[in-house]
Structure 1
Amino acid sequence: MSRLRGLLQASLNATKKALAWNVDDLMPPAERYIFNFNSKEELKKWHLYSDSEYGGLSSASLEITEFENGLKGVFAGNLSLDVTEGTKWNITRSGFCGMRSKKFDGFIDLDSYDTIAMKLKGDGRSYISTIYTENWVNSPGQEEDNSWQAFVFVPKDNWYITKIPLARYLPTWRGNVIDAQLEMNPSRIVGMSLSVNAEGGVPGATSGPGDFRVELDWIKALRAE
């Protein structure tokens, strides 16, 4: 009889312990690395694009460079408003470059996070952070990723951690903000990019054609709230 009472008590204690689990124990970590530019292998995750694909003359590079405080990514190049003479592309604007991640293997789920953070050292220009999610717009014969964009001002010559709430990312279609009530699905993210335009951006930022350069340490997802 005492043995039976002992088994019942042990079972009861185990049940109480299970019910007493803290909800925090079931939550993902408060932060999650998405990209870390501390290895040459990181270069395999990205590809570059610019207006040169359409007859423009801008150029960009992405390198992993050794600094005193370790390896960092360097996204740099030159922004030009000129176009190649006789180009077949009837482009209405030039002067842009970007680095876009190759599509994730499936997608990443950031539903438990509310903020994208980046550690950058820049040149005073305004950059554009883009998040790509699964498609909601289809053009004839071609599917386009759903894209969401937010400006990132990178102060000159100092390391800076920028934090962008996901709620600040606006829906865009080929670089233009869409005037529609849409909500991002952070559980179905397929890629990201960082780009720069010669014109536009936040007030007070450096703009215009010429060289650009931004150093990158990491990109994370945070749970700020």
Structure 2
Amino acid sequence: MKTALSCVYLFTMISSLIIFDFNADSDLSNWNVVNDGVMGGLSQSDFEINNEGNAIFKGTVSLENNGGFSSVRYRFETKKVKGFTKVLIRLKGDEKKYQFRVKTNSSDRYSYIAHFKTTGDWQTVEVSLSEMYPAFRGRKLDLANYPTETMQEIAFLIGNKKAEQFRLEIDKIELK
């Protein structure tokens, strides 16, 4: 009986892979804000932990100086993701549209992208890995969708072609 329980426990552990589970003691040193200032824009954003232990990505997107986006990215050691089919993100947004981005290699210039809209309430966003398409600077590339082999970076981006304030509260990001 103990062996059967061990197998169930092992399967449960393997069927889910936590990318990040935020709490009051979370180390955000590998999370970096990247705004349109890299291209001359004036958007501003912050990434911090709130009193409830959730990450808060908030700021203002500006269209001035050819700007228009804010993002936060998390780089990590290579994770083998073969066999996983989706990302589940527990978050609370502001009824705006965001992008979830993945890179197989953090040095790649392009990302694999999925769009999602927040409801204003706590929700679990489900992103199908096989439907994430490659893009660079807002342009879809003529390459295959995300190969679901390895992962070295994830990111959240807001860039809705309008000046706006935003706030995204993130609790947990995991692969299933």
For the criterion TM > 0.5, the same-fold answer is yes
Question: Aligned match of 1:159 in 116, 122, 135?
Answer: 122
- 1:127 aligned to 2:103? no
Report sequence identity in percent. Answer: 25
- The alignment partner of 1:191 has SS state of strand
- Runs of 5+ in structure 2 lacking a partner? none
Q: Specify the alignment match of 1:147 in structure 2.
A: 111
Counterpart of 1:71 in 2: which secondary structure? coil
Output the amino acid matched with 2:115.
F
For the Cα contact (< 8 Å) 1:51–1:57, is it kept in 2? Answer: yes
Secondary structure, counterpart of 2:152 in structure 1: strand
C-alpha separation between the residues in 1 aligned to 2:8 and 2:138? 39
Asked if the contact 1:81/1:198 (under 8 Å) is kept, the reply is no
Distance 2:86 2:68 in 1: 29
Letter of the 2:14 partner, please give it: P
2:58 paired residue among 76, 80, 86: 76
TM-score normalised over the length of structure 2 = 0.87
| One-letter amino acid of the counterpart of residue 77, structure 1 | G
1:62-102 per-position Cα deviation (integer Å, ceiling 9, x unaligned): 01001xxx31110000011112xxxxxxxxx4210000112
CA contact (8 A) 1:108 1:188 kept: yes
* Pairing partner for 2:79 from 90, 108, 119: 108
Aligned equivalents of 2:127, 2:146: Cα separation in 1: 14
Structure 1: which 5+ runs fail to align? 1-17, 84-92, 136-142, 200-207
2:149 to 187, 200, 203: 187
What is the aligned partner in structure 1 of residue 137 from structure 2? Answer: 174
Contact 1:134 1:145 in 2 (8 A): no
Would you say the 8 A contact 1:109–1:188 is kept in 2? yes
- TM (norm. structure 1) is 0.69
CA contact (8 A) 2:74 2:154 kept: yes
The within-5 A match list for 1:36-75 is: 36-66=21-51, 70-75=52-57
Which residue of 76, 89, 96 corresponds with 2:69?
96
- Say whether the 8 Å CA contact 1:133–1:146 is kept in structure 2: no
The equivalent of 2:158 in structure 1 is 196
Displacement of 1:147 after TM fit? 1.7
- Cα deviation, 1:119-165, whole Å, max 9, x if unaligned, reads 11111110000010138xxxxxxx53552001011112x10101011
Distance 1:216 1:26 in 2: 27
Name the residue aligned to 1:213. Answer: 167
Instruction: Summarize deviations over 1:47-67 as a string: whole Å, max 9, x none.
Output: 00111222211000001001x
Larger Rg: 1
Aligned-partner Cα distance in 1 for 2:54–2:105 = 30
Moved more, 25-34 or 126-135: 25-34
Cα 1:211/1:111, change in 2 over 3 Å: same
